[in-house]
Amino acid sequence: MLKLNTAHPDKTESPMNFHSVFLGAGSNSGNRLDYLQRACSMLETLPDTSITGISPVYLSEPLGITDQDMFYNAVIRIRTALNPRELLGSIKTIETALGRPEQHKRWGPRVIDLDILLYGQIVADSDGLTIPHPEMHKRKFVLHPLLDIDNPDHPVLHCKVSELLEKCPDSSSVEKTSLTLHSHSPSS
Ligand code: AMP
């Protein structure tokens, strides 16, 4: 089996700190549902990580370049002891393993896109990593599925996701489907 992440602290060093993290997942190329499902399955193989919630799949209009397939989007909540930088490395490894090229057109089609939306109440902005994700409050395809599984606080905008959705100016089409993703974690 593919081992996705190796760097994690020796368990005897210090007690592990687990965090609740929300990840955005999207695909608009190839078998979109299968790419989302495979991303979920790979997230479960990460060390000290389990899936604790998965939203229904949403069908949403592409932003930017509109002449491309609709996106399937979902939000996944994980419980992890990986720190933000380790987690970013892990989701990039998953994207690459699923066939996403390192370089891609900014608004172009993609087999898989994984973003760290919220990492507990942590705020970070350095070396190419911004948490909370700087676009999350502007995107209904993120806020709708996120609200389906939880209603956390946004640690920069200081309001609940439900309030972000009420104020969200995004007018693009976002539709809940009956499609679902599954995990093997008992608590999800
Ligand atoms: P994207 O094309 O949306 O997948 O953007 C990928 C790049 O955004 C990555 O190379 C990351 O370095 C950077 N990035 C910054 N903040 C985040 C975040 N919160 N989640 C995921 N990627 C991020």
Beta bridge partners of 126: 129
pLDDT of res. 96: 93
Name residues of the chain where pLDDT drops below 70: 1-14, 103-108, 186-188
Per the annotation, the verdict on 170 as an active-site residue is no
pLDDT of res. 108: 65
Q: Which two tokens stand for residue 159?
A: 């309001």
Give the position of tokens 């090229």.
101
114: amino acid identity, one letter: L
| From the candidate CATH numbers 3.30.70.560, 3.40.50.1820, 1.10.8.60, 3.30.300.30, the one assigned to the domain spanning 19-176 | 3.30.70.560
What is the pTM (predicted TM-score) of this model?
Answer: 0.90
Testing ligand 1's pocket by substitution, the residue of 86, 115, 133 carrying the most ligand atoms inside 8 A of its CB is: 115
Residue 162 CB neighbours (<10 A):
12
pLDDT of res. 184: 83
CA atoms within 13 A on the CB side of 121: 8
Beta bridge partners of 78: 21, 51
Output the CA 107–ligand 1 centroid distance in Å. 13
- The pair phi, psi for residue 100, each rounded to 5°, is -80, 125
Closest C-alpha residue for ligand 1 atom 15: 129
3-state SS of the chain is CCCCCCCCCCCCCCCCCCEEEEEEEEECCCCHHHHHHHHHHHHCCCCCEEEEEECCCEEECCCCCCCCCCEEEEEEEEEECCCHHHHHHHHHHHHHHCCCCCCCCCCCCCCCEEEEEEECCCCEEECCEEECCCCHHHCHHHHHHHHHHCCCEECCCCEEHHHHHHHCCCCCCEEECCCCCCCCCCCC
pLDDT of res. 15: 75
Q: Which two tokens stand for residue 80?
A: 């992890």
Ligand 1 atom with least separation from CA of 106: 2
